[in-house]
A and B are shown apart, each in its own frame.
Chain A
Amino acid sequence: MDGSPAGTAQDSAAAAQAEEVEDPAAIAARDQAWTEGLMAVRAGMVGNRWVRLLRWVVLAVVVAILLVMARNIATHGLAYFLQTVVYGLAGGSLYALIALGYTMVYGIIELINFAHADVVSFGGFISLYMVTAFGFKEGVVNGPLVMVGLVFITAATMLLCGTLNVTIERVAYRPLRNAPRVSPLITAAGMSFVLEGVMFLWKGPVNNHYPDLIPAGAVTALGTTVRTKDALVVVLALLLMLALDTFVTRSKLGKAMRATAQDRDAASLMGIDINRTIAATFFIGALLAGFAGTMYGLYFGNIVFDLGFATGLVAFTAAVLGGIGNIRGAALGGLCIGMFEAFWNSYFVSAWTQVMIFVILTLVLLFRPSGLLGMRVPDRT
């Protein structure tokens, strides 16, 4: 899956050709519409000289943008730059956590789980409910007690989200596992609407204030302020991602997940309980979602019933950017998108931020369809 933009037309066409030769039966057997589509677009377009021209145009535009940004960075000074990096990292690590859920599920059952980001917002709502029930408010209770309470609330939220996601998988995806691929996509979109509907009925259409419970406090260096909040989000997210990576690469269940992702039938023959492994994937993805939802509330101070839609789209973009199915790729993609967003907002006209994120997605898909770190899709393709 060489996605190098530097490859010549013939090279790429040949590469695509070679891939088909290597594994023709599998391609015919399975509906790898996603990968195939991308490869077809690429193989078809790379040979076109207009696309080569387009490449230069894109390159020129990117260089121009970078030059303008460099100038803007120079005028705003170092402190502003570093502060942007801090906010970009914090926002990016939340995207990364959500992107992981997309990428894990895609890696194992090739499903874009549209409901994932709604599980995130559901996590936010559950934890907000508990925060309110515990009577935690800004300025009323503070100190170590709140931190202990928050740890408990976060853990409970993660478990509840995990249970929810496993239930969704059991109800909406497992019965359709051997159905045409579009069916679970539709149930996924359906689950997304169901979750949003439930949250809408629960809290209504308004923004819900999430109390700012993380202790105030900040370190300032080089004119840049890092608040407890910012540091906490980044550090905890990185720790969780590290734990996930270790789990997937080292543990037995992690191995089973990877085996199932590679070849479900073979894994089954080796005695791996496929249903259990897939359920575990959904559970772990939702643990991260529950954590992200709670952090989202604490960090941004607000949650709304349909936040999953916008956030999910960006997180999904992050997963594709990193290489869908690739866990480290999703983490990297999330951080990149977060950084990009922060930089664009800080140095350019921010009404364009979302547009630019999806322009990036389009460009990545055109010139490097497998993402930054390469797509991980089952071998049978």
Chain B
Amino acid sequence: MRLTSLKGLALPVAAVIATVACGGGGTTGGGSNKGTIVLASDYPASGGEASTGIPEQQAVAFAVSQHQTIKGFTIQYKPFDDAINGVHDPQKGAQNATTMAGDPSILAMVGPNNSNVAKAMIPILAPVPLVMLSPANTNECLTKSFPYCNPAPSELRKGSTNNYFRIAGTDDVQGPAMADYAYKTLKFTKVAVFSDNETFGKGVADNFQKRWTSLGGTIVVRNDYDAKNTSDFKTYINSAKSGGAQAVYIGATTGNKPCIFKAQMKGILDVPLLGPDGFALDPQCIKDAGDNAANIYGTTAGSDPVAGNDPNAKPVIDAYKKVYSKPSDIATYTFQSYDCASLLLDAISRAIDDAGGNKPTRAQVRDEVAKTKNFKGITGTWTFDQNGDITTPVFSYYKSDPGNQADGEWKYISSQGVSGS
């Protein structure tokens, strides 16, 4: 908290001072240099997924550049790449985790980007214990215990104290997030709910349905389709139509055809399509929906400080853009990654105090992360619950905007905190 309060006002100044201090310091510098603390990250940083992973890495590097020394310790950044052949790979993540565990200078880790990588890393890093903070993992089973979770979060941590935290809202809250919005803002009362029958899709659809019913809305039809073998959705559309649906919610990822469903609604049922980040913000969804791509609403986990033009976030974003100026330097979760790094550095600072000014242990850093209360990041204000999740996850709402290439054919509407299911 102390560190970040500086950030807003005197960012460029702080950066300059830090640079000077570092340049003048050197290895034999004044008594202020007590050693090096390394902040690691784990993201897919090569191949196709580098478009997400590299900006995430840059955001961490940027956060570290703002805090080059903390209470006499030099802070260094060490990125790890978990992609193999351009795709995030749990095994590679596990390898990285083993390397990190063996490097005593690493006290905290930002990432990973993908839930299945986290699943592979947590069992290795929990006993060490090295704290992890992810900007992007949304799979609920990493932190919350549901009957379908295999393994359960406690098994995943091998009985150790929780070392895994995240600032992304979980999938089980995405459904309720859209239910809140559709019921309270769009004022719908009757919806049809479908899913692609996969863990993610069915999960969000079930949770949407639960929240919708508890809000007092009506579900006119609920069905799950076999995505691989279904290309004809007209019977489903007909069932929604005959029930008088004002909107259709589909829990699915783009590849499982929710937007083809929307295309086939043309001329039969002209109501909006609602859904999760499985297809929200995806340009492929707009292509799939053809000339019926208008009126698709989607949620994503986290706020969108860039599209949302958040004045609190603007100084940081502008400073980041000075260093990383290409449009591709900002992707989904870039500033969430920045927040994670800042939060960890803040926790490290507090842990140094706990250690009486000496180098803290990994357990001290982990405990300080767990104690984080109302940390003001630029994508939200974060407090962790006992599971390692944030207490009020933020979701953003988008609406399809076909033809508007500049914004990727999706228009930002708003962000709001959503209470858990």
Contacts and interface: CB of A to CB of B under 8 A. Distances in A.
Partners in one complex: yes
Interface of A: 76-77, 79-80, 83-84, 87-88, 90-91, 138-139, 205-207, 209, 211-212, 216, 218, 225, 227, 296, 300-302, 307, 310-311, 313-314, 341-342, 345-346, 349-351, 353-354
Interface string B195-225: 0010000000000000000000000000111
B255 interface: yes
B232 A206 contact: no
A322 B257 CA distance: 30
Best-buried of B229, B236, B287 by chain A (most CB within 10 Å) = B229
Contacts of B264: 300-301
A313 B223 CA distance: 23
Contacts of A341: 232, 235
A84 B235 contact: yes
A342 B239 CA distance: 11
A209 B263 contact: yes
Contacts of B266: 212
The 10 closest A-B pairs by CB, nearest first: A138-B291, A345-B235, A310-B229, A351-B224, A301-B263, A87-B234, A346-B235, A300-B231, A302-B260, A350-B223
Q: In which size bucket is the chain B interface? A: 20 to 34
Contacts of B5: none
10 contacts: A84-B235, A138-B291, A209-B287, A209-B290, A216-B267, A227-B267, A227-B268, A301-B260, A302-B257, A342-B235
Nearest to A80: B242
B229 A209 contact: no
A258 B234 CA distance: 38
Contact of B236 (A209, A313, A345): A345
Interface in B259-309: 260, 263-264, 266-268, 284, 287-291
> Binding site of A, secondary structure by majority: helix, strand, loop or mixed?
helix
Contacts of A84: 235, 238
A91 B226 contact: no
B228 interface: yes
Interface of B: 197, 223-226, 228-232, 234-236, 238-239, 242, 254-255, 257, 260, 263-264, 266-268, 284, 287-291
Contacts of B197: 351
A346 B224 CA distance: 12
B233 to A, nearest CB: 8
Contacts of A313: 229
B269 to A, nearest CB: 11
B242 A207 contact: no
Nearest to A343: B235
Nearest to B239: A346
Contacts of B231: 296, 300, 302, 307, 311
A52 to B, nearest CB: 33
B237 to A, nearest CB: 9
A138 B290 CA distance: 8
Nearest to B256: A207
A53 B239 CA distance: 37
Contacts of A79: 242
